[in-house]
Structure 1
C-alpha cells in the first residue's frame, strides 16, 4: 500500500513518535511524505520514504496528484487546527481529494492508530482490488 505521512510544524514530533511506534507496520508499505516531515521520520526510524516538497511549497499538491491518479491508498496528516496555515487552501484541497477518491484520511493520532491497525490486519485490501479493476 502507498501511505502518505504529513504533519504541520507543531505536530511533527507527534508524527515521528507515531512512526517510531508503528515502524513494524510502516516498513511493509511504500511511504511518501512532505519534505521536513519525511526527513525527521527517516532520521528517527531509518524507514525509506519518498519525499516531496514541503507542504507550503507544493508537497500537499504533489500528494494530491497521486490521489487523483489512484496512486495513494492512505493519508495520515497530523494537522494543527489551532495555528493558521499559509497554505490552507492546499490542505483543504488535499482533504477534498481524499473524500472524492475514497482515500482513508487520518487527521489526528486517534484516527491514525485505528487506520494503522487496519492496515496491519489487511482491512484496506479493497484498495488493491479497485486498482486491479482499473477504477
Structure 2
C-alpha cells in the first residue's frame, strides 16, 4: 500500500508538531504494514531531520511543493501508467489558515481522493485512526494506544451527505446500524437526519426517540452548527459523503466544517467516502471481537 504524505509547516515546525507525534505513535504500525509513504520535499526533509523512520525503505522523497510535488501526488491518486505510479490515498495534515491548503493542487488532491473512493486524511486523529484500521484488517492485534479512538460510547458522530449521496448514506447506516448505534450521540443536517431517523424507526428503534439529532439543512446553516460542535470538542467523528461532481451552492459552509475538523487535528476524525467509511465500520467490528476474545 502506498500513500501520499504532506504536512503544512505548522505540523512539522517544532519537535512536538502533529506530523512527528503521528510518526512516533504509529511508526511500529507503519513498519508492520510496510506502508509506502511518498512524501513531498519539505515534509520528507522534516522527517529526516527528526530522525524518524530511519532507514525505512518505504519513505520516498518527492519534489518540493513549488517544484510540483503535490501535483504529482494528485496525478498518482488518479493513477499513472505503471503500478509504481499509483497511490492508494493521501495523508495531508492541514493547517486551515495556511494559504497553501487552498492552492489548486491541495484542493484537487482531496477531490480526486473523493472521486476515486480513496482515503483523504487531513487530521492527526484521522491518520492515527487509519493506521489502526489497516492494522486490524491486516490481522494484527489491537494497539492499546488507539483505544481512546474506539471509545464510541463516549463520542458523538456527525452523518452528513450531499443530495446525490443521501441514498448511499442511508444504505451505509442500514448496513452498519449496529456500529453507529454504539455512539453516545448521532447528529446530522436536516434532510439526511430525517431519512436516517426513518431508517432507524423501520429497524425497531423506539418511535418516540430520534436516532439522530437533526440540525438545520446544509444551505440553512447546518454545516456551521456542526462545525461549532467540532470546535467545542463535542463531536469527535464525522462521516461526510461528498459529491465531488457538482457545484456546491453552500460551498463556504462546507469549507467551514472542513476547517473546523482540521483546526482540532488531535481530536477530530473525518471520512469522506462510502468505501473508506465501510472499511472503518468493518474494522470496528473486528477490533471489538478481538478485544472481547
Q: Distance in 2 between matches of 1:19 and 1:97?
A: 24
Cα distance in 2 for partners of 1:117, 1:97 equals 27
d(CA) in 2 for partners of 1:81 and 1:20? 23
Which structure carries more relative contact order (alpha carbon 8 Å, separation 6+)? 1
Q: Structure 1 stretches of 5 or more lacking a match?
A: 123-135
Structure 2 spans left out of the alignment, 5+ residues: 1-154, 206-210, 289-293
1:70 aligns with 2:233: yes
How far apart, CA to CA, are the structure 1 residues paired with 2:252 and 2:281? 27
Check if 1:107 corresponds to 2:253. no
Cross-structure match for 1:16: 170
Give the direction of change, closer, same or farther, for the CA distance of 1:35–1:119 in structure 2 (3 Å limit). farther
Find the counterpart in structure 2 of residue 33 from structure 1.
188
Q: Secondary structure at the match of 1:93?
A: helix
- In structure 2, relative to structure 1, the CA distance for the partners of 1:68 and 1:119 (3 Å cut) is farther
- Following TM superposition, the consecutive aligned residue runs of length 4 or more in structure 1 with deviations greater than 2 angstroms are 114-122
> Aligned partners of 2:218, 2:229: CA distance in 1, in Å?
15
Partner residue, 1:127: none
Report the Cα distance in structure 2 between the residues aligned to 1:114 and 1:2, rounded to whole angstroms: 19
Q: 1:70-125: per-residue Cα shift (whole Å, max 9, x none)? A: 00010001011101111111111211211111211111102212333455547xxx
Q: TM-score, normalised by structure 2?
A: 0.40
Counterpart-to-counterpart distance in 2, 1:52 and 1:77 = 15
Contact kept? 1:3, 1:75, Cα under 8 Å: yes
Are the equivalent residues in 2 in contact too, given 1:106–1:115 (CA < 8 A)?
no
The count of residues paired between Structure 1 and Structure 2 equals 122
Task: Tell me the SS of whatever aligns to 1:70.
Answer: coil
